Amino acid sequence: NGYSDPYVKTYLKPDVDKKSKHKTAVKKKTLNPEFNEEFCYEIKHGDLAKKTLEVTVWDYDIGKSNDFIGGVVLGINAKGERLKHWFDCLKNKDKRIERWHTLTNELPGAVLSD
């Protein structure tokens, strides 16, 4: 139909428990979704430098596997603006740091199955 039913998953790695994962609601039939959802991870600020935040976008499909649209990884192994964003977060405890990032279709080490 030319549209997607996108949703976003966030994963604070390397943790593997359920508290390290969050998922938005599905936005039906849109190519320009706005999620406006916030997720909070209970973590000590000092431990943040050892973590990686993986953000992936998916197209929800009923009755079959969901399609990976793209994603972004923020953390110490990121490059360019993603790394700068991560360092800004580390330097500014208790402050919201918002940035726009272009999605990529290759995320080394990412969880690309839904």
Q: Which residues contact 6 (CB under 8 A, 6 or more apart)?
A: 26, 27, 30, 33, 57, 58, 59, 60, 69
Cα–Cα dist 9/112, whole Å: 10
The pLDDT tens digits of the residues spanning 81-98 come to 999 999 999 999 888 899
CATH number (1.10.260.40, 2.60.40.1220, 1.10.3080.10, 2.60.40.150) of 6-91 reads 2.60.40.150
Give residue 109's Cα distance to chain centre.
Answer: 14
* pLDDT on residue 16: 76
> 0.75 exceeded by the pTM?
yes
Q: Which two tokens stand for residue 80?
A: 């360019």
* pLDDT on residue 2: 81
Q: Structural domain boundaries of the chain?
A: 6-91
The pLDDT tens digits of the residues spanning 11-21 come to 999 987 888 99
* pLDDT on residue 64: 86
Q: Which two tokens stand for residue 26?
A: 């599905």
The pLDDT tens digits of the residues spanning 28-85 come to 999 999 999 999 888 888 898 999 999 999 999 988 899 999 999 999 889 999 999 9
The helix/strand/coil state of 71 is strand
Cα–Cα dist 34/79, whole Å: 26
